[in-house]
Amino acid sequence: MQDLKGTILQKIKEYQTIICLRHVSPDGDAYGSAFGLAQFIKDNFPNKKVLVDGEPSYFLAFLATPNLVQQEDYQGALVIVTDTANIEQIDSKYWQKAEEVIKIDHHPNMIPFGELQWIDETKIAASEMIAELVLTSSLTVTPQAARLIFTGIVTDSNRFMYSKTCQKTFMLAGQLVATGFDLQSVYQNLYEDSWVNVRFKNYLLSQVVVYDDQISYVKITDEMLKEHAMNYETVKPWVNIMSNIKEFKIWMWAIENKVEGYINLSIRSNAYIINGVAEKYYGGGHQLASGAKIYQWADLEKVLKDLSSVIKNNIKYMEG
Ligand code: AMP
Q: Are residues 52 and 183 in the same domain?
A: yes
The C-alpha atoms of residue 243 and residue 262 are separated, in whole angstroms, by 24
Q: Are residues 148 and 211 in the same domain?
A: no
Helices (H), the chain: 2-14, 28-44, 126-135, 143-156, 167-177, 183-191, 195-206, 222-227, 232-235, 275-280, 300-312
pLDDT of residue 1: 54
pTM: 0.92
**Mean pLDDT over the full length of the chain:** 97
Q: Are residues 160 and 200 in the same domain?
A: no
Q: Are residues 126 and 207 in the same domain?
A: no
Distance from residue 121's CA to the centre of ligand 1 (Å): 15
Q: How far is CA 281 from CA 262, 267, 291, in A?
A: 11, 12, 9
Q: How far is CA 238 from CA 19, 129, 161, 198, in A?
A: 30, 25, 17, 11
Query: Region 155-168: what's the mean pLDDT?
Result: 96
Q: Are residues 37 and 129 in the same domain?
A: yes
Of all protein residues, the one whose alpha carbon is nearest to atom 10 of ligand 1 is 285
39 lines ligand 1 (CB under 6 A): no
Judged against a pLDDT cut of 90, whether residue 110 lies above it is answered with no
Q: How many C-beta atoms lie closer than 10 Å to residue 196's C-beta?
A: 12
> Is 317 within the bounds of a domain?
no
> Is 105 within the bounds of a domain?
yes
> Is 24 within the bounds of a domain?
yes
284 lines ligand 1 (CB under 6 A): yes
pLDDT of residue 28: 97
Q: Are residues 41 and 177 in the same domain?
A: yes
> Is 319 within the bounds of a domain?
no
Q: Are residues 174 and 215 in the same domain?
A: no
Sheet strands side by side (includes 262-269): 209-211, 215-220, 250-257, 262-269, 289-294, 284-285
Query: Region 78-100: what's the mean pLDDT?
Result: 97
The C-alpha atoms of residue 119 and residue 105 are separated, in whole angstroms, by 5
Domain limit, last residue, from 190, 205, 224: 190
Judged against a pLDDT cut of 90, whether residue 65 lies above it is answered with yes
pLDDT band at 111 (very low <50, low <70, confident <90, very high): confident
Query: Region 151-166: what's the mean pLDDT?
Result: 96
The C-alpha atoms of residue 62 and residue 236 are separated, in whole angstroms, by 18
Judged against a pLDDT cut of 90, whether residue 149 lies above it is answered with yes
> Is 268 within the bounds of a domain?
yes
> Is 149 within the bounds of a domain?
yes
Q: How many C-beta atoms lie closer than 10 Å to residue 1's C-beta?
A: 9
Instruction: For the chain, give the number of residues.
Output: 320
Domain limit, last residue, from 139, 160, 190: 190
CATH code of the domain in which 256 resides: 3.10.310.30
pLDDT of residue 183: 98
Of all protein residues, the one whose alpha carbon is nearest to atom 3 of ligand 1 is 291
Atom of ligand 1 nearest to the CA of 266: 2
Name the residue among 318, 314, 267, 32 with its Cα closest to residue 163: 318
Query: Region 168-195: what's the mean pLDDT?
Result: 97
pLDDT of residue 256: 98
119: containing domain? 2-190
23 lines ligand 1 (CB under 6 A): yes
Q: Which helix (DSSP H) or strand (DSSP E) does residue 263 occupy?
A: strand 262-269
> Is 145 within the bounds of a domain?
yes
**What does 272-301 look like in DSSP terms, one character per residue?**
B--HHHHHHTT-EE-SSEEEEEESSGGGHH
Q: How many C-beta atoms lie closer than 10 Å to residue 157's C-beta?
A: 24
Over residues 31-44, the pLDDT tens digits come to: 999 999 999 999 99
Query: Region 181-205: what's the mean pLDDT?
Result: 97
Judged against a pLDDT cut of 70, whether residue 2 lies above it is answered with no
Are residues 98 and 78 in contact, defined by beta-carbon separation less than 8 angstroms? yes
Q: Are residues 134 and 62 in the same domain?
A: yes
Considering its fold, how many domains does the chain have in total?
A: 2
Q: Are residues 264 and 166 in the same domain?
A: no
Query: Region 97-106: what's the mean pLDDT?
Result: 98
Q: Are residues 294 and 246 in the same domain?
A: yes
Query: Region 3-16: what's the mean pLDDT?
Result: 97
Judged against a pLDDT cut of 80, whether residue 23 lies above it is answered with yes
> Residue type at 276?
G
For 11, list phi and psi in degrees, rounded to 5: -65, -40
Q: Are residues 213 and 159 in the same domain?
A: no
Judged against a pLDDT cut of 90, whether residue 318 lies above it is answered with no
pLDDT of residue 307: 98
- Choose the residue to mutate in 23, 290, 294, 303 for probing ligand 1, maximizing ligand atoms within 8 Å of C-beta: 290
Q: Are residues 138 and 287 in the same domain?
A: no
Judged against a pLDDT cut of 80, whether residue 320 lies above it is answered with no
> Is 73 within the bounds of a domain?
yes
291 lines ligand 1 (CB under 6 A): yes
Q: Cβ neighbours of residue 196 under 8 Å, at least 6 residues apart? A: none
CATH code of the domain in which 130 resides: 3.90.1640.10
Distance from residue 23's CA to the centre of ligand 1 (Å): 9
Of all protein residues, the one whose alpha carbon is nearest to atom 11 of ligand 1 is 285
Query: Region 143-161: what's the mean pLDDT?
Result: 98
Domain limit, last residue, from 190, 206, 226: 190
